[in-house]
Amino acid sequence: MPDAFYDTVRCLIAGDYGDLGARSGNNVQGPTTLTITLDEGPPKDSFFLKLVPDKGGFAGGLPTPGTYTIAGPDADFRTCGLCANIIADIVPMAGPTKFYFATSGTVTLTSVRPPAGSLANLSLVETTVDGEPIAGGCTGSIGAMTFTSM
């Protein structure tokens, strides 16, 4: 039993996704991105991973395979090199309704172009489209997931 009621109507996501197992997605947003559908909807929810050179855990260079902890610069939308998000209720012709950004967890990359690997214990907070945390906003988590590109 969950400790408390999670308001999926207000938050627009499942909240605690638990262990999602193996998932595959696409990298149509660029060679170092990965988009994985979490809920077909409509409207659809997606997990989005973006690797940014010279930022966060990749400061001073290109993204490389390895295990990374989301903390410090990677826990901030404006400075992340390892940027993990949930994009909620994507409405065709209008775009996403809510954004969630990972502020902790670990990601192991076995490949970076396109991204492949696994993640564990991801905690996410609701943010504005610009990545500013929303006071009193919703939260989410993913216990584990392995990911590849189609």
* Tens-digit pLDDT profile for residues 99-116: 999 999 999 999 999 999
The structure's pTM equals: 0.94
pLDDT value of position 4: 62
Is 38 a residue whose pLDDT tops 60? yes
Q: Is 82 exposed, middle or buried (0-12, 13-18, 19+ CB in 10 A)?
A: buried
Q: What is the percent of the chain where pLDDT is above 70?
A: 97
Residue with tokens 């990972």: 102
| Nearest one of 141, 132, 108 to 11, comparing CA atoms | 141
Q: What is the percent of the chain where pLDDT is above 90?
A: 91
Domain ranges of the chain: 15-149
Is 3 a residue whose pLDDT tops 70? no
